[in-house]
Amino acid sequence: MNKKELIVQVAIQVFRDQGIEKTKISDIVKAAGIAQGTFYLYFPSKLALMPAIAEVMVEKTLSIVQETVQDNAPFSVKIEQIIDAIFLVTRDYHEIQALIYSGLASTEHLREWETVYAPFYKWISERLEEAREQGIIRESIYCDRTAKLVIGLVESAAEQIYLYDSEQDDQARVQKAEVNEFLIHALGIKF
Amino acid sequence: MNKKELIVQVAIQVFRDQGIEKTKISDIVKAAGIAQGTFYLYFPSKLALMPAIAEVMVEKTLSIVQETVQDNAPFSVKIEQIIDAIFLVTRDYHEIQALIYSGLASTEHLREWETVYAPFYKWISERLEEAREQGIIRESIYCDRTAKLVIGLVESAAEQIYLYDSEQDDQARVQKAEVNEFLIHALGIKF
Amino acid sequence: MNKKELIVQVAIQVFRDQGIEKTKISDIVKAAGIAQGTFYLYFPSKLALMPAIAEVMVEKTLSIVQETVQDNAPFSVKIEQIIDAIFLVTRDYHEIQALIYSGLASTEHLREWETVYAPFYKWISERLEEAREQGIIRESIYCDRTAKLVIGLVESAAEQIYLYDSEQDDQARVQKAEVNEFLIHALGIKF
Amino acid sequence: MNKKELIVQVAIQVFRDQGIEKTKISDIVKAAGIAQGTFYLYFPSKLALMPAIAEVMVEKTLSIVQETVQDNAPFSVKIEQIIDAIFLVTRDYHEIQALIYSGLASTEHLREWETVYAPFYKWISERLEEAREQGIIRESIYCDRTAKLVIGLVESAAEQIYLYDSEQDDQARVQKAEVNEFLIHALGIKF
DNA sequence: GATGAATGAGCGTTCATTCAT
DNA sequence: GATGAATGAACGCTCATTCAT
């Protein structure tokens, strides 16, 4: 089996279980069932894991969003589904999300993250584009920039809920509704 | 000068200069011109610094916002000014903001942050309340929740710009305009 | 007690006992009865010990030579005494001498050694100068350069004997006699 | 090409380029273009390389000396040529020379080095013998022992020059002249 | 014979924390 | 209160060596 992927997958799991700060490389290799030195064959340091994790996380997020959003649903429903999906991912992985957003993982790898995040931005942007062409949202929207604002808004809203606790179903429901309302107006969605 | 305050002020400065991860307590005490042991007279551990820093940062942010926003300006202008102020703070302190938002500083102190952030949320909420009472924004808005969404939106938008580089004046201008447009619709501002 | 000196003294002892290559920093601190971290207060690395050791070794060598050589002895006897003294030091510290002579201790510290060795060269040079002024050795001698040759010759001769074994009294006696004869002619000593 | 020889040749080269201490086996095999494991088919450990390297170095030194010294030159010229040759080798390989002289490579292999160095001592000894039989040098000389002194003297003189810097042509010229003068008297060369 | 991914014991180094002064 | 030398547990990382292919 591919050891590099194994390390990344296991690292995500261990980070979720015991927190990022407290995770030692020795914890990761133990969980992965490999030798300490093997880690260093694939990653020069603990920090170097981060871009790979970010990539996996974005893939995971995007695929959950894509699974949740129904192609033939009306745009207003799609927005609700996008919100649902992002809240879902945030609930389960907020610690890792936080890491990715914080400038933590040292400046050297920041550049890579831009590319890593690109597919997610692009997908949302395309949905906005579709809606705009169909006249369902206001025309003045710049889809690329707005996609980033939407993702930023929903993720930050979800983080506000899940930062302290993953068990916040009621709070989450209210917050999602509020975000939905917020977005309906922000995007000028017509029904 | 009060040593406790001195330590917090110096710590923020050192964090900005050389990054949070790389900052050792010895760096802070050196910069503060005090002895290693003196630190522990005021803070039981390195982590105990964080709530104090968060408090100062929120005070700083709020006071910048308050200075920027003119009491007698129309609400739409106030929104622009709020955006300007948050972008300004984010540009100068995005690393520390990131720290505060990420779950980084061990869970024991998270609760305190909530209270620490409260004044900022409250102030924005009050401005929304005023506007709603004057019928300048849509009535369906829940001010408390929306205040958090607005702050989350603007901060995440600013972070997208400044994460990689603090010198992004052109990018920032475009992003600010987009956020403004976004908020005008989201809040249903009437002119 | 001065910890820096303690470390150097103990390090020399430990190096002699168990060899330089096999000596870990933990061995040194254990023998010195200090904590691991304390070592790093005084020396940034194992290599950084070397100039300090060299200094002590040269001081030791010079003081043994000075003690052995009688001020009022005839020059030819002084030469014998110098040979005796250098052989003595080499027997007891040949491993450390070897270290000092090899380029081992990484190029960064080489420059310092030149200064460190200077007093020894100088002292020998002065003895040659005296002898030359008294017409006891050939006039064509450049004392400074010749001092280095003499020390190099005698030390290398001693090392040839003690490299493999410190118990070589017979061999040493013959070698010393040969070196003495060699030097008598090289310096053109007159009786 | 014979892999064993290849490894030794490459190792010498890599040692010269990046220093002995910093050279890992992986560097050697990389430079040799062979696999990590292949090294261990020919040498049971890293230390086992040392005698082989010493052998090659002595062969190299001896052959350079033999090439430089002209059979039919007068003995005084031969001495100059020997000095030249040894300075040349020392300039190019002083780090490896240092390794060979220092007790570095664990004691188990020291014995072998004695035998390895023998041919060089023997060759010089034979030249002295010739000269002594022809009455060109003083009769009291023991050629075997003196050969070692001569080699030790010249090598240490060369090391004093090249230890810090390989580019020392002026210094080297003066030092060689001084050594020559020194030897002329030590050996009692008659013209 | 040749390979090179995998190993893991071992070591150097860091740095938050303590405490005698 | 203030100091800063001393501490030592903790961890990152290296690299000689192995072995299944």
Chain B residues within an 8 Å CB radius of A175: 145
3-state secondary structure chain A: CCHHHHHHHHHHHHHHHHCCCCCCHHHHHHHHCCCHHHHHHHCCCCCCHHHHHHHHHHHHHHHHHHHHCCCCCCHHHHHHHHHHHHHHHHHHHHHHHHHHHCCCCCHHHHHHHHHHHHHHHHHHHHHHHHHHHCCCCCCCCCHHHHHHHHHHHHHHHHHHHHCCCCCCHHHHHHHHHHHHHHHHHHHCCCC
Mean pLDDT of D84-100: 87
Displacement of CA A5 from its chain's centroid (Å) = 19
Suggest the residue from A156, A173, A174 to mutate for an interface test with chain B (most B CBs closer than 10 A).
A156
Using CB atoms, which residue from A98, A106, A153 is nearest to B149?
A153
Cβ of A152 within 8 Å of Cβ of B148? The answer is no
**Is the CB of residue A36 inside 7 Å of nucleic acid strand E?**
yes
For the CA of B98 and the C1' of E4, the distance in angstroms is: 42
Q: Please tell me the predicted confidence (pLDDT) of residue C111.
A: 66
The answer to whether A25 and A36 are in contact (CB under 8 A) is: yes
Tell me, yes or no, whether chains B and A touch by having 3 or more C-beta pairs under 8 A.
yes
Choose, out of B112, B181, B185, the residue to mutate when testing the contact with A (most A CBs < 10 Å). Answer: B185
Mean pLDDT value across chain C: 89
Which nucleotide is closest, CA of A40 to its C1'? F13
What is the total residue count of chain C? 191
Rounded Cα distance between D174 and C149, Å, is: 12
Calculate how close chain B gets to A2, using CA atoms only, in Å.
30
Residue D131, helix vs strand vs coil? helix
Q: Is the pLDDT of residue D106 over 60?
A: no
pLDDT surpasses 90 at C45: no
Tens of pLDDT, residues B79-99 = 999 999 999 999 998 878 777
Q: How far is D165 from chain C (nearest CA, A)?
A: 10
CA–CA dist D181, D188 (Å, integer): 10
What is the spatial distance between Cα D140 and Cα D132, in angstroms, rounded to a whole number? 9
CA of C26 to C1' of E11 (A): 9
Residue D119, C-beta contacts closer than 8 angstroms, at least 6 positions apart: D58, D59, D62
Across B56-155, the runs of DSSP E, i.e. the strands, are none
Q: How far apart are CA A15 and CA A23, in angstroms?
A: 6
Q: Which nucleotide is nearest to A44 (CA to C1')?
A: F13
Residue identified by tokens 């926003």 is: B69
D141 CA – E11 C1', rounded, Å: 51
For residue A121, give the chain B residue with the closest CA: B160
Task: Set out the domains of chain B in order of their start, with CATH numbers.
Answer: 3-44 (1.10.10.60), 48-187 (1.10.357.10)
Task: Indicate yes or no: strand E within 7 A of the C-beta of C21.
Answer: no
When mean pLDDT is compared across A18-22, A187-191, B158-162, C140-144, the lowest value belongs to: A18-22
Task: Give the range among B95-99, B130-134, D70-74, D150-154 with minimum mean pLDDT.
Answer: B95-99
The whole-angstrom separation of Cα B11 and Cα B25 is 9
Select the more confidently predicted residue: D108 or C169: C169
D18 touches chain C (CB under 8 A): no
- Residues in chain B with CB shorter than 8 Å from the CB of A163 are 101, 103, 110
Q: Report pLDDT digits (tens) over B30-72.
A: 999 999 999 999 999 888 888 888 889 899 999 999 999 999 9
Q: Calculate the angstrom distance between C1' of F7 and CA of C42.
A: 14
pLDDT for position B109: 61
Average of per-residue pLDDT across D96-105: 64
D128: left (phi over 0), alpha (psi -120 to 50) or beta: alpha
> How far is residue D80's CA from residue D132's CA, in Å, rounded to a whole number?
17
Nearest to C103 among D94, D175, D185 (CB): D94
Higher confidence at residue D182 or residue B53?
A: D182
Provide CB contacts within 8 A for A179, sequence distance 6+.
A83, A153, A154, A157, B149
* Arithmetic mean of pLDDT, D146-168: 89
How close is the nearest chain A Cα to the Cα of B41, in Å? 25
Separation of C49 CA and F11 C1' (Å):
24
Q: By 3-state DSSP, what share of chain B in percent is helix, strand and coil, each rounded to 5? A: 75, 0, 25
3-state DSSP call for residue B81?
Answer: helix
Residue D183 CA to residue D178 CA, distance in Å, equals 9
- The answer to whether C172 contacts chain D (CB < 8 Å) is no
CA→C1' distance for C25 and E12 (Å): 8
Check if C145 contacts D (Cβ < 8 Å): yes
Residues of chain B with pLDDT > 70, as a percent, come to: 92
Give chains near B: 3+ CB pairs under 8 A. A
Nucleic chain F contacts, Cβ below 7 Å = A 24-26, 36-37, 40, 44-46; B 3, 34-38, 40-41; C 3, 34-38, 40-41; D 24-26, 36-37, 39-40, 45-46
Pairs of CB atoms within 8 A across C/D:
108
pLDDT in tens, chain A (191 residues): 689 999 999 999 998 888 887 899 999 999 999 999 999 999 998 888 888 888 899 999 999 999 999 999 999 999 999 999 999 999 998 878 777 765 445 556 666 677 888 999 999 999 999 999 999 999 999 999 999 999 999 999 998 898 777 778 899 999 999 999 999 999 999 88
> Distance between CA atoms of B153 and B166, rounded to whole angstroms?
19
pLDDT at A127: 97
Q: Which of D153, D154, D161, D165 to mutate to test the interface with C (most CBs of C within 10 A)?
A: D153
CB of C36 lies under 7 Å from some atom of strand E: yes
Q: How far apart are the first and last CA of chain A?
A: 50
Tokens describing residue C148 = 């280095």
pLDDT per position as a tens digit, B118-136: 999 999 999 999 999 999 9
In angstroms, the CA B117 to CA B148 distance is 10
Chain C contacts of D107, Cβ < 8 Å? 19
Distances A18 to A21, A29, A95, D63 between C-alpha atoms, Å:
8, 14, 10, 66
pLDDT of residue C109: 62
Residue A35's contacts (CB-CB under 8 Å, 6 or more residues apart) are A29
The answer to whether residue B19 neighbours chain A at the CB level (below 8 Å) is yes
Residue D114, pLDDT above cutoff 80: no
Q: What's the pLDDT score for residue B104? A: 46
Cβ pair B85, B64 in contact under 8 A? yes
Using the structure, give the distance in angstroms from the CA atom of B60 to the C1' atom of F6, rounded to a whole number: 39
**H or E element that contains B95:** helix B75-101
Q: Residue D71 in 3-state DSSP?
A: coil
Nucleotide nearest to C32 (CA to C1'): F6
Among A105, A103, A21, which Cα is nearest to B95's?
A103
pTM of the model: 0.85
Decide: CB of C153 under 7 A of nucleic strand E.
Answer: no
User: In this model, does residue D45 exceed pLDDT 50?
Assistant: yes
Q: Does D148 touch chain C (CB under 8 A)?
A: yes
Q: What is the C-alpha radius of gyration for chain A, rounded to an integer number of angstroms?
A: 18
Residue nearest to nucleotide F11 (CA to C1'): A24
> Which distant-in-sequence residues (6+ apart) come within 8 Å of A177 by Cβ?
none
The pLDDT-based confidence of D172 (bands split at 50, 70, 90) is very high
The pLDDT, as a whole number, for residue B187 is 94
Gap between the Cα atoms of C124 and C189, Å rounded: 15
- Judge: C148–D160 Cβ closer than 8 Å, yes or no: yes
Nearest CA to D51 among D94, D9, D109? Answer: D109
Q: How far is D110 from chain C (nearest CA, A)?
A: 7
